[in-house]
Amino acid sequence: MKTPSDAIRWGTALAGSFIVSDLRGGTVGSWVVCGWFTDDPVYRPLAEQLAASLAAIGAPYDLACVPKSPGSWESNTLAKAGRALAALERHAGKTVIFMDVDYTATGDISWLTEAPGDVAMQMVARRRKNGSARLAPSAQVMVFKPNEAARRFIEAWIDLGRQPQPGDTSEAFLTLACAVPEVSISCLDSARVASVLQHSWASRRGPRRMSGFWREIANTLRSLASRRALDVARG
């Protein structure tokens, strides 16, 4: 019987001056868990922990180790849509459970593949003080079916995030992508997800994203710059 460590197949890819390795294993089937991570002291151990937990429950997985892109923590996070599309291309014809690597599987997750629609994700509903409501989708755990609609959704997500600005997040562009026509999106049961996937919240360990205060400053400066450019154009 294979142990979790035996189930890890190491692939190599050159990144800068060092070798990075993917984590793959599990039983091949009609679905696969995919994710990605950078080879650093925060994310490599988390990815290995996720791989071991998936191997322990017999879930197929493909966790890609990628070089860290130049720029901020946010710019690396915004690459998530591109990694999702790459996962679909690597596993054509399979349902892909695409998730962050700072999770540990504690129970059967195969039920995620039975989610209706082309794309499934968790959503958080918030009611604002002014009486309006906000529905915020989460990119932490997503399900993509092997069809053209799911691909169009991801491509729209990518296009929307091609020019990120300070304070932008992957979820912001994900929200906009939900308006893509003729794509069926379903909401995963967050409580059920939490019962089989334990979240480690890696973002709280590594570099933090821009705070609300500094995001407002950045947005204000960007707005002023745009107005100045418009004034110059008008002469």
pLDDT in tens, 162-212: 876 766 777 788 888 999 999 999 999 999 999 999 998 755 544 444 444
Nearest to 151 by CA among 210, 107, 86: 86
Average pLDDT, whole number, for the chain? 79
Residue 58 has pLDDT above 90, yes or no: yes
In a domain, 1, yes or no: no
Span 81-96, average pLDDT:
95
* Rounded Cα gap, residues 101 and 33, in angstroms: 10
In a domain, 28, yes or no: yes
The fraction of the chain above a pLDDT of 90, given in percent, is 51
Nearest to 95 by CA among 76, 75, 81, 115: 115
Looking at residue 94, the DSSP 8-state letter turns out to be: S
**Residue 94 exposure: Cα atoms within 13 Å on the Cβ side:** 22
Task: Give the CATH number, domain containing residue 183.
Answer: 3.90.550.10
Alpha-carbon distance values, 133 to 88, 126, 171, 178 (Å)? 33, 6, 17, 16
* Rounded Cα gap, residues 121 and 98, in angstroms: 10
Q: Contact, 63 vs 37, CB < 8 A?
A: yes
In a domain, 144, yes or no: yes
| Amino acid 77: pLDDT | 59
In a domain, 163, yes or no: yes
The amino acid at 26:
G
Domain that residue 183 falls in = 9-208
In a domain, 107, yes or no: yes
In a domain, 72, yes or no: yes
Alpha-carbon distance values, 230 to 166, 217, 233, 234, 235 (Å)? 21, 20, 5, 6, 9
In a domain, 179, yes or no: yes
Tokens standing for residue 163: 């020019």
Count up the domains in the chain and report the number: 1
Span 151-161, average pLDDT:
92
In a domain, 139, yes or no: yes
Tokens standing for residue 82: 């591109």
Kind of pairing between the strands at 9-15 and 18-25: antiparallel
Task: Identify each DSSP E strand in 9-82 by its residue range.
Answer: 9-15, 18-25, 31-38, 61-66
